[in-house]
Amino acid sequence: MKFLKDTCLFIVASLLLNGTGQFAKAQEKDSTLTEGVNNKRLALVVGTGAVGYTAGLLYLSEIWYSDMERVPFQFYNDNAGWLQMDKFAHGYVAYHQSYWGYEALRWAGVSEKKAIWFGGPLGFVMQLPIEIFDGLYEGYGFSWGDVIANTAGSALFMGQQLAWGEQRILPKFSFSPSPYAALRPGTLGGTFGAQLVQDYNAQTYWFSFSPASFFDLDRWPKWLCLSVGYSGEGMLGEFENPDFIRGVSVQHIERYRQYLLSIDIDTRKIQTPYKFLNGVLHAMNLVKIPAPAIEFNRKDGVAFRPIYY
């Protein structure tokens, strides 16, 4: 299953890498950021990245595709699949991989511009081989939609860093188990861990930003954000729902998009006297906090959610 491989294998790994880079930066303010490259740190960053990248490629070629038939290079148009939720997932992962690449290089003392141009494309670079491998094996295919989403994720990071010298718009993720996984556990996941990456009904992707980052608002806390979210509901299959599951009609389940407006916290802006806790807060920006939300969808119109996960 293509979406399972893309999300399970690389989302978890890349977010762990991102968290490592953020912890390193948040735990230590050091002079290498202004005094030049720290060769030992740079070697550690490059070496870790190279080993991880090579291990990922070996996993794909020797394990994931080991039982699959090699075919002439083929394409797969999945742009209409899962109401584009998988494209948001690709962009989210690519953004945070790029963020990690930039912060790791800055931690090693690389200049701002070089860190942007060498670390910023990391999300695109890390995910492109997945699409190439997909194009070479039966049951998969090279997806231009995925490539565009990966590019957009890295570009969102690089564009903000070049324009503002900071990240004002933060892609985030939230998850709440849906009732649909029980209907099709093979497709949407039979366990919590599987549902985390397989059930797009349970995922929401957000873009959080503080108005104080764009306007002169003295009374608006810089850590308090507005957040715009996107999700989908009622998806039992990639492109369309089946009419029956195990002989029971599910034709009443309707697929539709959800648009959300909520509040959030930029945990990077919360500083404590403890370096480790600052690192935890920095890494927490991967996810959006549960909060009240207003939902817009074509089925229910406008609905207020007291707590949206």
Domain boundaries, given as residue ranges, for the chain: 1-167, 169-309
How many Å separate Cα 225 from the centre of its chain? 19
| Two tokens, residue 204 | 């929401």
Question: Which conformational region is residue 101 in: left (phi greater than 0), alpha (psi within -120 to 50 degrees), or beta?
Answer: alpha
Answer with the residue of higher pLDDT: 215 or 275: 215
**What share of the chain in percent tops pLDDT 70?**
89
Give the type of residue at 232: G
- pLDDT over 70 at 219, yes or no: yes
Please write the tens of the pLDDT for every residue from 244-262: 999 999 999 999 999 999 9
**What share of the chain in percent tops pLDDT 90?**
68
Q: Indicate the average pLDDT of the chain.
A: 88
C-beta atoms surrounding 182 within 10 Å: 12
- Please report the beta strands in 183-277, taking only residues with DSSP state E, as ranges in sequence order: 203-209, 224-233, 244-245, 248-249, 256-265
Mean of pLDDT values over 151-173: 97
Answer with the residue of higher pLDDT: 16 or 142: 142
For tokens 């998969």, name the residue.
140
For tokens 């070049």, name the residue.
162
For residue 170, give the H/E element and its range.
Answer: strand 170-175
In this prediction, residue 26 carries a pLDDT of: 47
- pLDDT over 90 at 180, yes or no: yes
C-alpha span between 282 and 278 (Å, rounded): 6
In this prediction, residue 288 carries a pLDDT of: 97
Answer with the residue of higher pLDDT: 275 or 103: 103
Cite the DSSP H helix spans in the chain: 2-4, 10-27, 32-35, 39-59, 85-107, 112-119, 122-134, 144-164, 185-188, 192-198, 275-283
| Two tokens, residue 98 | 């790029």
Position 276 confidence tier, pLDDT thresholds 50, 70, 90 = confident
CB neighbour class for 161 (10 Å; exposed up to 12, middle 13-18, buried from 19)? buried
In this prediction, residue 35 carries a pLDDT of: 56
pTM here?
Answer: 0.89
Mean of pLDDT values over 135-149: 93
In this prediction, residue 20 carries a pLDDT of: 46
Answer with the residue of higher pLDDT: 173 or 130: 173
Position 62 confidence tier, pLDDT thresholds 50, 70, 90 = confident
- pLDDT over 80 at 6, yes or no: no
- pLDDT over 80 at 222, yes or no: yes
In this prediction, residue 203 carries a pLDDT of: 97
- pLDDT over 70 at 3, yes or no: no
In this prediction, residue 4 carries a pLDDT of: 52
Position 57 confidence tier, pLDDT thresholds 50, 70, 90 = confident
